[in-house]
Structure 1
């Protein structure tokens, strides 16, 4: 029987890098296991709450990406192809033939890239709070303006954010507080994201973001998405500070896609609309059978 308690383990990638991973939940017969891909790049798994709301319906596997969080420090390489291979090592470690794959933010791009590379191993894709397959110009300028506007609601927070070192925990908490619609609880939610706290992997972040800028909006990427014959559920928080219109090009390209927009949620919709988020994930899990 699939375990209900969380079991942490180390996964060894094909180049010897060791990755933290964890399995929890109780999958019923015929239920596809669910693998989660966290955001960043350069951050770590923050999906305790998400896994908790899904553990009664599926086996849930989480992992920290290469050189990040609880995974072993390493020197890379920081490429999407390498991270796709690491994700496949996690799948093999847990002896999962086919998976439902959920990616959040940068992790949504990683999950999409994995599905494009290995569609036979993915039963369904859940694309949460991603930024689509177009150029950064589709969203990044508006994101920066919205970030500063939300920080500016409390001028002392904006001033403090500007003076702090880029990789500090306090600065991250202030920045992450902009991701929530409920402004009274925004700092509380952001503090929860930062517990536990690990050093941000800045080289990883810079390299993968640079790669993403080069590969976005290419004809090859659009063609690959048009040929992806598996069910995809796109989940948006309507009040994410990244314009949701950035995802439109991906939705247009995918042949089997449903979009769920949660009206009173930001970038982490499972925090602010857990029932709506769970329903969206269960929709995808049902399609994966």
Structure 2
């Protein structure tokens, strides 16, 4: 179905399942929704709404604008299209950042935030170098894949698949799982990617952002794969700031924990949607502000 934004851009969206609404925010920036498996595993616990961000995937090609504020407004257009007063949000990677941005701007419209494989709120530079090192180390475990990746141009589907294969802890299945991400293939919006990543570098790590997170009165579940090549310590800043937060770390998962720990991932998300403890299959810890401890 088509969602029309307030500036006239058409966004692709789809809904399945039953129960309270859960809106997914995909990663990138500049990619498209790849969370069909997530929608399938949660469809008996929530009405799962997927959408492609502007200029990406099945949504209308446009010239932007590529800003977090504009993308949060597009997410609100999705909310209005489906007639939702409040919704749970599940954001993955860049989409976790988008979901957090939205919750900070509109906490009254968010029942729960599930923050999956994001990169926290500290400045980008301290962790990004280690991410690049981890990426190259994992990719070069199979030298011929690394050589092939270097030979291919940016935007080539095979190059993307080889890059994404480094996101999985299960090295035997990594290429198969990355190929699944690329099917179907819609192309990468590099203008979107460049602009939003630049905005993140300029705005993350500010005192105002830390203060806003400390005031966020929304329950948050942070979900990590311990073997994500993006250092998980980058998320510590967000965990420290949030007053109502639980964190689950799956020891044997990478950047897409639902692909490698599907049962545990589903259990953790369903528990968050039902405002219960996420369970013990991952490494779990929680923090609740003093004003909430009596609840």
What is the TM-score normalised by the length of structure 1?
Answer: 0.94
Secondary structure at the counterpart of residue 229 of structure 2: coil
- Using the alignment, how far apart are the partners of 2:100 and 2:43 within structure 1? 23
1:266 is aligned, of 254, 273, 277, to: 254
- Using the alignment, how far apart are the partners of 1:104 and 1:261 within structure 2? 14
1:165-195: CA deviations, max 9, x gaps? 0111000000000011111110000000000
Pair 1:200-2:181 in alignment: no
1:68 is aligned, of 56, 59, 72, to: 56
- Using the alignment, how far apart are the partners of 1:240 and 1:280 within structure 2? 18
- Using the alignment, how far apart are the partners of 1:182 and 1:287 within structure 2? 31
Structure 1 segments, 4+ long, off by >2 Å, are: none
Q: CA deviation at 1:279?
A: 1.3
1:18 is aligned, of 10, 31, 37, to: 10
2:129 is aligned, of 131, 136, 141, to: 141
- Using the alignment, how far apart are the partners of 2:203 and 2:185 within structure 1? 31
- Using the alignment, how far apart are the partners of 1:101 and 1:138 within structure 2? 28
2:205 is aligned to: 217
1:36 is aligned to: 24
Pair 1:128-2:120 in alignment: no
Secondary structure at the counterpart of residue 134 of structure 2: helix
Secondary structure at the counterpart of residue 112 of structure 2: strand
Q: CA deviation at 1:272?
A: 0.2
Secondary structure at the counterpart of residue 49 of structure 2: strand
What do you get for the CA RMSD once the two structures are aligned? Answer: 0.8
1:108 is aligned, of 78, 92, 96, to: 96
What is the TM-score normalised by the length of structure 2?
Answer: 0.93
Secondary structure at the counterpart of residue 261 of structure 1: strand
Q: CA deviation at 1:137?
A: 2.1
Counterparts of 1:225-240 in structure 2 under 5 Å?
225-240=213-228
1:190 is aligned to: 178
2:239 is aligned, of 251, 261, 278, to: 251
1:286 is aligned, of 246, 271, 274, to: 274
**Is there any run of 5+ residues in structure 2 with no aligned partner, and where?**
277-295
